[in-house]
Amino acid sequence: MKYNKVLNIEKGRAICYSGFREGQQPGGLSPSYEEVKEDLLILQGNWKYLRLYDCDEHAEMVLNVIKNEKLDFKVMLGAYIIAEMNNFGCPWETHIFSEEELVKNKLVNEQRIEKLIHLADEYDDIIFSLSAGNEACVDWTDHYVPVKSVINYVKQIKKSAKQPVTFCENYVPWLDKLKELVDVVDFISIHTYPVWEYKNIHDALEYTKQNYYAIANKYPDKLVVITEAGWATNSNGRGIDPTNVSEEFQKIYYNDLMNWNTEDDILTFVFEAFDEPWKGSDEEYEPEKHWGLYYVDRTPKLVMK
């Protein structure tokens, strides 16, 4: 299914963008206008489409900069919904939410969905699609939201916004758990990370293809977009073998991915633009911090040189 027809956009390259730098993080200090402008000028020319995870202060700043500076970007905007149930299967989350906390979380989610709808209307010339959440249904998530709740959020967005609506999730739940959601979304958004699943660089692209076509063949009447795919450049050994990540491997995977996307007409948001030092543990080589095609100081890694 041709993505440019379903999403009403031109063909182009796409990337996940989060601009938080040293000392900044979601819920804390946010990037300034000039910092966001610097980032977007770096990305302009290589990428046409940006994916933003939440309708927070940072996302508003990004949309504002694109509008004011008349930059050539279109945006997939998400609402980052948080836990509405405890997920005792999450391997790293130790906090158990009280019933009171879960009730408050649901109110937060409803507010975020409303904010998403508001921004979709305010920036309708920039925002081309909307996501009702990110990795909230997969077995290992630390912010678990029941599928029925996600379905209701999608329906709520579709009722009030004119952009196509999706939900961004690891490919596995789409195989079975999210069947009811498939009927509601305008297109399916999957995440695929061969390196997290212990694949080496030689098997990486083939594994990504397997992930993609497992979903695309199961739901032939739905467009499937890859909203995250990438390769880390460092690891402390937890979850990813340090010998399996490097700038050289990132470059190989990125180039293979882009060539396949062009050949098979697939929209893929590369994960991700810049390293994010706020993520994960305090360890320097925590893999969550090292997925950027650029370092946190905005200098390019090998793939972008």
Instruction: Taking the CA atoms of 191, 194, 197 and 203 in sequence, report the sign of the dihedral they define.
Output: positive
Binned at pLDDT 50, 70 and 90, residue 1 comes out as confident
Contact, 298 vs 38, CB < 8 A? Answer: yes
In this predicted model, what pLDDT tens digit does every residue of 231-266 receive, in sequence order? 999 999 999 999 999 999 999 999 999 999 999 999
**Pair of tokens at residue 112:** 């975020």
CATH code of the domain covering residue 218: 3.20.20.80
Q: Report DSSP state, residue 279.
A: S
**Average confidence score pLDDT of the chain:** 97
Token pair 């989060």 in the structure block, residue = 18
% pLDDT > 90, the chain: 97
Q: How far apart are CA 113 and CA 159, in angstroms?
A: 12
Q: How far apart are CA 210 and CA 216, in angstroms?
A: 10
**Angle formed by the axes of helices 201-218 and 247-264, to 10°?**
30
134, β-bridge pairs: 168
**Pair of tokens at residue 99:** 């019933």
pTM above 0.85, yes or no: yes
Residue 145: what residue type? V
Q: How many CB atoms lie within 10 A of CB 237?
A: 11
Query: Greatest CA span in the chain, whole angstroms?
Result: 50
Residues 136-155, mean pLDDT to the nearest whole number: 98
Q: At residue 183, what are phi and psi to the nearest 5 degrees?
A: -70, -20
Cis peptide leading into residue 114 (ω within 30°)? no
As for how many domains the chain has, the answer is 1
Q: How far apart are CA 85 and CA 149, in angstroms?
A: 11
In this predicted model, what pLDDT tens digit does every residue of 188-200 receive, in sequence order? 999 999 999 999 9
Token pair 């997925």 in the structure block, residue = 291
Angle at 77 between CA 271 and CA 140, to 5 degrees: 55
Contact, 240 vs 250, CB < 8 A? Answer: no
* Residue 278 domain boundaries: 3-304
Residue 54: what residue type? D
Residues 6+ apart with CB under 8 A from 150: 81, 132, 133, 136, 137, 167, 181
Say whether pLDDT at 94 is over 90: no
Q: Report DSSP state, residue 70.
A: T
